[in-house]
Structure 1
Amino acid sequence: MSDYRILVVDDEEDLCEILKFNLENEGYEVDTANSAEEALKMNIISYDLLLLDVMMGEISGFKMANILKKDKKTSSIPIIFITAKDTENDTITGFNLGADDYISKPFSLREVIARIKAVLRRTSKENTEKAPEQLIHETLIIDVTQKKVSIDNKEIALTKKEFEILFLLLQNKGRVFSREDILAKIWSEEVYVLDRTIDVNITRLRKKIGKYGKCIVTRLGYGYCFETK
């Protein structure tokens, strides 16, 4: 299964369901919204890519993209426009708004899937190359370069696995990672690791980061996430 989450925003419910079905068959986790207004109420930062229809209701796909690109939290999320409008001016408008690709209707599902894969490959590589030197939440600071964690300017002694779990969760605030996700990302080279290993490391990590331990939230039946509320 893929780790990528995709949000499809289109006022054609049937098209949303078709895209959802086929993308889930490719291993993606997919949610849908039938308007920009509905989509903007969702946790946009938890998605790795957005498929936006241009011609929607009061808030068009272009307008929604403009809103997202002006917000630092969502500005780096890749956007692919899917639309019946295929004039040169519309295409230029889409790319000027920061779109990563532009697909005209009617389209083949194979084309959509291929373009999604290409955008995710490119943006994943860019994000890796631009990895932050520090991750900061209030007085909790992860120094990525020196592999150190401090709270209120006092260094916290973490094991390598605890550091990697904290980095993964804090870098992806609000995103829920299952035990399988965490095992695949952090224990990828180990031949056999029990799910219980994750729970033990999470428990130790919560204790070590003190007041921020409550930010590592358990979603029963799903996994763990770092919440800042």
Structure 2
Amino acid sequence: MNPASDTVLTSPKPHQVAIVDSDASITNLIKLNLEDEGYGVCTFANAEDALDAGFAHTDLVITEVILSDINGLMLTGIIKSNDDTSHIPVIICTTMDSEDDIVKGFDAGADDYILKPFSLREMMARIKSVLRRRSMAARNPYRPTATASAAVKYDGLSVDTASRNVTIDGNAIALTRTELMLLNALISRPGHFYNHSDLYRIVWNKEGNASSRALDVSVSRLRKKLGKYAVHIVNRSGIGYGFIEK
């Protein structure tokens, strides 16, 4: 008997996706397309039901921000702050389209941010991209190195991540954690340009590629707060962002 004839070939386990959205037309649309692609899907009209069901077998969560109980940002934060679920990627799919909304989504821990109305083709591509990044990160986990606590200075601009203190000409300015990490990375290596993937790891402490819009929005907000020093943050097409001494 040929030993190969006894080999049983099994199909890989399909990815399990949880969709949290009170709009049944949206959830059904995404659900049908995911199921056509071989995904397992469960849907929830609110965050409480999703949390009650748990995410033990979930590979991806897609959530709206506007929900009847716990909003999508809070749900994302709950998922990402729990050791048992922090590895699960979250895509926020919402009508909340301001710069602040997008940055808040990524600050909450979202792995991608998709605006409604959306293209189904783009939605499916981004779902696959997020799951692919998650698979790569699981095989090659990123381990951030410790950073020096000493303040970094350029002219009248001073950045101290240990105390979260940033000053311009002696005057303190308020930065979010994302803006602080971004500025510190750039000013610590003047003349060096980071690609999006590098900044994603440094700022959001994740492996993979951030949405370019999220990064651009964060840089735009940072520049507005830096006043005369905004011109030192430069974006070179095809290369990335850097801090230039002028």
How does the TM-score come out when normalised to structure 1? 0.55
Q: Deviations over 1:24-61 (max 9, x none)?
A: 00111111001001101113131111001111112100
Tell me the equivalent position of 1:46. 57
Q: Deviations over 1:175-211 (max 9, x none)?
A: xxxxxxxxxxxxxxxxxxxxxxxxxxxxxxxxxxxxx
1:4 paired residue among 15, 35, 48: 15
Q: Flag the structure with larger Rg.
A: 2
> How far apart are residue 81 of structure 1 and its match?
0.2
Identity fraction in percent: 42
Map 1:67-106 to 2 at 5 A: 67-106=78-117
CA distance in 2 between partners of 1:45 and 1:65 (Å): 15
Q: Which runs of 5+ in 1 are unaligned?
A: 132-229
> How far apart are residue 112 of structure 1 and its match?
0.7
1:19 paired residue among 12, 15, 30: 30
Checking the alignment, whether the CA contact within 8 Å between 1:51 and 1:80 is kept in structure 2 is: yes
Tell me the equivalent position of 1:33. 44
Checking the alignment, whether the CA contact within 8 Å between 2:74 and 2:108 is kept in structure 1 is: no
Tell me the equivalent position of 1:57. 68
Q: Deviations over 1:116-138 (max 9, x none)?
A: 0000011101012239xxxxxxx
CA distance in 2 between partners of 1:128 and 1:18 (Å): 32
* Number of matched pairs: 131
One-letter amino acid of the structure 1 residue matched with residue 50 of structure 2? A
2:134 paired residue among 112, 115, 123: 123
One-letter amino acid of the structure 2 residue matched with residue 27 of structure 1? G
One-letter amino acid of the structure 2 residue matched with residue 16 of structure 1? T
1:107 paired residue among 103, 118, 134: 118
Q: Which runs of 5+ in 2 are unaligned?
A: 1-10, 143-246
How does the TM-score come out when normalised to structure 2? 0.51
Tell me the equivalent position of 1:221. none
